[in-house]
Amino acid sequence: MSNIPSFTMRQMLEAGIHFGHHTRRWNPKMKPYIFGVRNSVHIIDLEQSVPMLYRALEAVQQVVQNGGRVLFVGTKRQAQDKMAAAAKRCGQYYVNHRWLGGTLTNFKTISQSISRLRNLDEILADNGRGLTKREILQHTRERDKLEQSLGGIKDMGGLPDIIVVIDTLREAIAIKEAQKLKIPVVAVIDTNSNPDGIDFPIPGNDDALRAIDFFCDIFSQAVLGGIKAEMMAAGVDIGNLAEVPAVDEIAIAEVAAEEAPAAEAAAE
């Protein structure tokens, strides 16, 4: 049974996903995805965007269904909160402030910074008991700085299996790192973007709040669909669940499903 979230072209139109940039600001490589021009603004051909979005959703859902990790990347101001909320809603990971070079390609070093962040969390957990006010202030500042950059990936535990990007120009470094490691890239590509090298490009507006809302929501739904499919494959009855459990709960459910036959055999 497919859990791909449903959507319509009307929803995309209402979100303004068809509006590109001013004709002066365009990348000629986007020409195949441009329907026309209105008031000096390029109009994106949603008849192409719809199937391309569907393929991207399928890719994300398949990764999650197979137990993989999804990293949401969106550091532009209007995308920051929305990307973080989308990732949290479906138990995945995010970078929504400045991308640190080497986040993927030098993950070992990044992991050391994450360990430092965890250590600071522990130090400050008990209101800094045993520390001077100055030490508390210093540790808090360091923790807050690390949290801003790494808070969204501190529980990732390894490289992502696919990344979802809003604004390929702004996130060019993240995309290059993913490509170097052969991590599939899903990305919204506006009329000023270069679609080359993007595994699952989706022609669409990457600036408008409603458009970003639409993409964040639909991809979090795809992840949740993948989680449900993974649970069903593990033999978990999800019929009475009010909400999808956290990712670590899924791992527990899988272990339980694997142990069940052995327990039955032992009882015989």
pLDDT, tens only, 195-247: 999 999 999 999 999 999 999 999 999 999 999 988 888 777 665 444 555 55
d(CA 89, CA 75): 18
Average pLDDT over residues 148-167: 97
Kindly report, residue by residue over 100-138, the tens digit of the pLDDT.
Answer: 999 999 999 999 999 999 999 988 887 767 788 898 899
CATH architecture of the domain with residue range 9-104+159-267:
3-Layer(aba) Sandwich (3.40)
* Size of the chain, expressed as the number of residues it contains: 268
Average pLDDT score, the chain: 89
pLDDT of amino acid 82? 97
State the Cα–Cα distance between residues 60 and 53, nearest whole angstrom. Answer: 11
Per-residue model confidence as pLDDT tens digits over 59-103: 999 999 999 999 999 999 999 999 999 999 999 999 999 999 999
* Residues whose CB falls within 8 Å of the CB of residue 163, separated by 6 or more in sequence, listed in order: 70, 71, 72, 73, 174, 175, 178, 183, 184, 185, 186
Could you give the CA distance from residue 242 to residue 246 in angstroms, rounded to a whole number?
Answer: 12
